[in-house]
Protein backbone atom coordinates (compact mmCIF):
# COMPACT_ATOMS: atom_id res chain seq x y z
CA UNK A 1 0.00 0.00 0.00
CA UNK A 2 2.85 2.42 0.73
CA UNK A 3 3.92 4.14 -2.48
CA UNK A 4 6.59 6.47 -3.78
CA UNK A 5 6.36 9.84 -2.03
CA UNK A 6 7.22 12.08 -4.98
CA UNK A 7 3.59 13.10 -5.53
CA UNK A 8 3.15 13.82 -1.82
CA UNK A 9 6.24 16.03 -1.80
CA UNK A 10 4.90 17.91 -4.84
CA UNK A 11 1.60 18.46 -3.05
CA UNK A 12 3.47 19.84 -0.05
CA UNK A 13 5.66 21.97 -2.29
CA UNK A 14 8.92 20.89 -0.72
CA UNK A 15 11.37 18.09 -0.01
CA UNK A 16 12.85 16.94 3.30
CA UNK A 17 16.47 17.27 4.34
CA UNK A 18 15.75 14.45 6.78
CA UNK A 19 13.35 11.99 5.05
CA UNK A 20 13.05 10.00 8.28
CA UNK A 21 11.00 12.84 9.75
CA UNK A 22 8.42 12.35 7.01
CA UNK A 23 8.46 8.60 7.63
CA UNK A 24 7.79 9.22 11.32
CA UNK A 25 4.98 11.66 10.47
CA UNK A 26 3.26 8.97 8.40
CA UNK A 27 3.63 6.20 10.99
CA UNK A 28 0.47 5.46 12.98
CA UNK A 29 0.76 4.12 16.51
CA UNK A 30 -0.82 0.84 15.39
CA UNK A 31 2.43 0.05 13.54
CA UNK A 32 4.27 -0.23 16.86
CA UNK A 33 7.43 1.53 17.95
CA UNK A 34 7.98 5.23 17.24
CA UNK A 35 4.96 6.95 15.72
CA UNK A 36 3.58 10.34 14.77
CA UNK A 37 1.77 11.26 18.00
CA UNK A 38 4.40 13.76 19.21
CA UNK A 39 4.58 15.33 15.76
CA UNK A 40 0.76 15.61 15.78
CA UNK A 41 0.99 17.65 18.99
CA UNK A 42 3.46 20.00 17.37
CA UNK A 43 1.60 20.21 14.06
CA UNK A 44 -1.72 20.99 15.72
CA UNK A 45 -0.25 24.06 17.45
CA UNK A 46 1.47 25.23 14.27
CA UNK A 47 -1.63 24.93 12.09
CA UNK A 48 -3.70 26.88 14.60
CA UNK A 49 -1.06 29.61 14.88
CA UNK A 50 -0.53 30.00 11.12
CA UNK A 51 -4.25 30.01 10.30
CA UNK A 52 -4.90 32.53 13.08
CA UNK A 53 -2.21 34.81 11.67
CA UNK A 54 -3.57 34.50 8.12
CA UNK A 55 -7.14 35.25 9.21
CA UNK A 56 -6.03 38.21 11.32
CA UNK A 57 -4.43 39.88 8.30
CA UNK A 58 -7.04 38.87 5.72
CA UNK A 59 -10.11 39.90 7.74
CA UNK A 60 -9.40 43.17 9.60
CA UNK A 61 -13.16 43.77 9.87
CA UNK A 62 -13.96 40.61 11.87
CA UNK A 63 -14.29 40.55 15.66
CA UNK A 64 -12.55 37.99 17.84
CA UNK A 65 -15.55 35.67 18.05
CA UNK A 66 -15.99 35.48 14.28
CA UNK A 67 -12.25 34.99 13.79
CA UNK A 68 -12.33 32.12 16.29
CA UNK A 69 -15.30 30.49 14.57
CA UNK A 70 -13.69 30.94 11.17
CA UNK A 71 -10.47 29.34 12.39
CA UNK A 72 -12.47 26.46 13.90
CA UNK A 73 -14.16 25.92 10.52
CA UNK A 74 -10.72 25.54 8.93
CA UNK A 75 -8.81 23.73 11.66
CA UNK A 76 -10.81 20.67 12.60
CA UNK A 77 -10.73 16.95 12.01
CA UNK A 78 -13.12 17.06 9.07
CA UNK A 79 -11.20 19.73 7.14
CA UNK A 80 -7.81 18.19 7.86
CA UNK A 81 -9.12 14.78 6.79
CA UNK A 82 -10.39 16.35 3.54
CA UNK A 83 -6.90 17.71 2.94
CA UNK A 84 -5.52 14.24 3.55
CA UNK A 85 -7.91 12.73 0.99
CA UNK A 86 -7.07 15.41 -1.56
CA UNK A 87 -3.38 14.53 -1.16
CA UNK A 88 -4.11 10.78 -1.21
CA UNK A 89 -2.34 10.69 2.15
CA UNK A 90 -3.83 7.33 3.04
CA UNK A 91 -1.65 5.69 0.39
CA UNK A 92 1.48 6.79 2.26
CA UNK A 93 0.48 5.85 5.81
CA UNK A 94 2.34 3.18 7.74
CA UNK A 95 -0.30 1.24 9.66
CA UNK A 96 -0.44 -1.91 11.74
CA UNK A 97 -2.17 -5.03 10.35
CA UNK A 98 -5.40 -4.34 12.25
CA UNK A 99 -5.79 -0.81 10.91
CA UNK A 100 -4.90 -1.94 7.41
CA UNK A 101 -7.58 -4.61 7.54
CA UNK A 102 -10.23 -2.24 8.91
CA UNK A 103 -9.49 0.49 6.36
CA UNK A 104 -7.71 2.84 8.73
CA UNK A 105 -6.11 4.67 5.79
CA UNK A 106 -9.60 6.10 5.07
CA UNK A 107 -10.48 7.03 8.67
CA UNK A 108 -10.88 10.78 9.22
CA UNK A 109 -9.14 10.81 12.60
CA UNK A 110 -6.07 9.01 11.24
CA UNK A 111 -5.85 11.23 8.15
CA UNK A 112 -6.23 14.41 10.22
CA UNK A 113 -3.58 13.25 12.69
CA UNK A 114 -1.23 12.47 9.82
CA UNK A 115 -1.66 15.96 8.35
CA UNK A 116 -0.70 17.40 11.74
CA UNK A 117 2.23 15.01 11.90
CA UNK A 118 3.50 16.08 8.49
CA UNK A 119 3.26 19.75 9.47
CA UNK A 120 5.23 19.02 12.63
CA UNK A 121 7.85 17.22 10.57
CA UNK A 122 8.19 20.15 8.18
CA UNK A 123 8.77 22.47 11.14
CA UNK A 124 11.54 20.30 12.60
CA UNK A 125 13.09 19.85 9.16
CA UNK A 126 12.95 23.41 7.82
CA UNK A 127 11.64 25.85 10.43
CA UNK A 128 8.63 28.12 10.86
CA UNK A 129 8.62 30.02 7.55
CA UNK A 130 8.65 26.80 5.54
CA UNK A 131 5.89 25.43 7.75
CA UNK A 132 3.73 28.52 7.21
CA UNK A 133 4.17 28.14 3.45
CA UNK A 134 3.07 24.49 3.55
CA UNK A 135 0.03 25.24 5.71
CA UNK A 136 -1.11 28.17 3.57
CA UNK A 137 -0.53 26.10 0.42
CA UNK A 138 -2.79 23.34 1.74
CA UNK A 139 -5.53 25.69 2.95
CA UNK A 140 -5.34 28.50 0.37
CA UNK A 141 -8.58 27.70 -1.46
CA UNK A 142 -10.47 27.52 1.82
CA UNK A 143 -8.87 30.70 3.14
CA UNK A 144 -9.79 32.48 -0.10
CA UNK A 145 -13.47 31.48 0.18
CA UNK A 146 -14.42 31.79 3.87
CA UNK A 147 -17.81 30.73 5.19
CA UNK A 148 -20.58 33.25 5.84
CA UNK A 149 -21.45 34.39 9.37
CA UNK A 150 -24.36 31.93 9.53
CA UNK A 151 -22.23 29.10 8.20
CA UNK A 152 -19.65 29.83 10.88
CA UNK A 153 -22.09 28.65 13.52
CA UNK A 154 -21.24 25.15 14.66
CA UNK A 155 -23.54 22.30 13.56
CA UNK A 156 -25.11 21.83 17.02
CA UNK A 157 -26.12 25.50 17.13
CA UNK A 158 -27.49 25.42 13.59
CA UNK A 159 -29.42 22.21 14.29
CA UNK A 160 -30.90 23.73 17.44
CA UNK A 161 -32.02 26.82 15.51
CA UNK A 162 -33.59 24.70 12.75
CA UNK A 163 -35.57 22.64 15.28
CA UNK A 164 -36.64 25.68 17.29
CA UNK A 165 -37.89 27.35 14.09
CA UNK A 166 -40.09 24.27 13.56
CA UNK A 167 -41.16 24.31 17.23
CA UNK A 168 -39.61 20.87 17.73
CA UNK A 169 -37.80 19.60 20.84
CA UNK A 170 -34.02 19.73 21.01
CA UNK A 171 -32.03 16.69 19.83
CA UNK A 172 -30.83 14.08 22.29
CA UNK A 173 -27.13 13.19 22.20
CA UNK A 174 -25.81 9.93 23.65
CA UNK A 175 -22.36 8.37 23.79
CA UNK A 176 -22.57 5.00 22.04
CA UNK A 177 -18.97 3.87 22.54
CA UNK A 178 -15.52 5.02 23.59
CA UNK A 179 -12.45 3.29 22.15
CA UNK A 180 -8.73 3.64 22.68
CA UNK A 181 -6.36 4.51 25.47
CA UNK A 182 -7.23 7.36 27.89
CA UNK A 183 -4.91 9.85 26.16
CA UNK A 184 -6.09 8.95 22.64
CA UNK A 185 -9.78 8.04 22.71
CA UNK A 186 -12.33 7.88 19.92
CA UNK A 187 -15.93 8.73 20.80
CA UNK A 188 -18.98 7.57 18.85
CA UNK A 189 -22.06 9.67 19.64
CA UNK A 190 -25.65 9.47 18.40
CA UNK A 191 -28.03 12.35 17.75
CA UNK A 192 -31.75 11.54 17.91
CA UNK A 193 -34.65 13.75 16.80
CA UNK A 194 -37.69 11.66 17.63
CA UNK A 195 -40.45 13.76 15.95
CA UNK A 196 -38.55 13.59 12.64
CA UNK A 197 -37.55 9.92 13.10
CA UNK A 198 -33.93 10.91 12.58
CA UNK A 199 -30.97 9.24 14.24
CA UNK A 200 -27.40 9.96 13.15
CA UNK A 201 -23.94 9.23 14.50
CA UNK A 202 -20.62 11.01 14.65
CA UNK A 203 -17.12 9.82 15.53
CA UNK A 204 -14.19 11.93 16.66
CA UNK A 205 -11.40 12.31 19.18
CA UNK A 206 -13.59 14.09 21.72
CA UNK A 207 -17.22 13.84 22.79
CA UNK A 208 -17.90 17.43 21.72
CA UNK A 209 -16.43 16.92 18.26
CA UNK A 210 -18.39 13.68 17.83
CA UNK A 211 -21.60 15.49 18.81
CA UNK A 212 -20.85 18.16 16.22
CA UNK A 213 -20.35 15.50 13.56
CA UNK A 214 -23.62 13.79 14.51
CA UNK A 215 -25.42 17.16 14.38
CA UNK A 216 -23.89 17.90 10.96
CA UNK A 217 -25.18 14.55 9.67
CA UNK A 218 -28.64 15.33 11.10
CA UNK A 219 -28.69 18.69 9.32
CA UNK A 220 -27.89 16.92 6.04
CA UNK A 221 -30.77 14.49 6.57
CA UNK A 222 -33.16 17.34 7.30
CA UNK A 223 -31.97 19.26 4.24
CA UNK A 224 -32.42 16.21 2.02
CA UNK A 225 -35.94 15.70 3.30
165-224 pLDDT, tens digit each = 999 999 999 999 999 888 789 999 999 999 999 999 999 989 999 999 999 999 999 988
Query: Which DSSP category does 26 fall into?
Result: T
- Does 63 qualify as catalytic in the annotation? no
67-116 pLDDT, tens digit each = 998 898 899 998 999 999 999 999 999 999 988 888 888 888 899 999 99
CA separation for the pair 11, 20 (Å, rounded): 18
Flag whether pLDDT at 1 surpasses 50: no
- Sheet architecture: strand order including 186-193: 172-179, 186-193, 198-204
Flag whether pLDDT at 55 surpasses 90: yes
Catalytic choice (44, 99, 113, 125)? 44
3-state DSSP of 167-214: CCCCCEEEEEEEECCCCCCEEEEEEEEHHHCEEEEEEECCHHHHHHHH
Work out the mean pLDDT of the chain and round it to a whole number: 91
137-147 pLDDT, tens digit each = 999 999 987 66
- Does 116 qualify as catalytic in the annotation? yes
CA separation for the pair 122, 141 (Å, rounded): 21
Burial classification of residue 114, based on how many CB atoms lie within 10 Å of its CB (0-12 exposed, 13-18 middle, 19 or more buried): buried
Catalytic choice (40, 99, 113, 116)? 116
CA distances to 101, 145, 159, 207 from 225, in Å:
35, 28, 14, 27
Q: What is the pLDDT of residue 4?
A: 83
Q: Is the pTM of this model over 0.85?
A: no
Q: What's the sign of the alpha-carbon dihedral 153, 156, 161, 163?
A: positive
Amino acid sequence: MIQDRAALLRALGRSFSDPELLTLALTHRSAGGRNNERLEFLGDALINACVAEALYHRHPDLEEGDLSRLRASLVNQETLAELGREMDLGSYLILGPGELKSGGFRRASILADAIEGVVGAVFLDAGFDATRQVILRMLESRLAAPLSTDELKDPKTRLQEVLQARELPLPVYAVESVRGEPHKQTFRVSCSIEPLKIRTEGEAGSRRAAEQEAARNALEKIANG
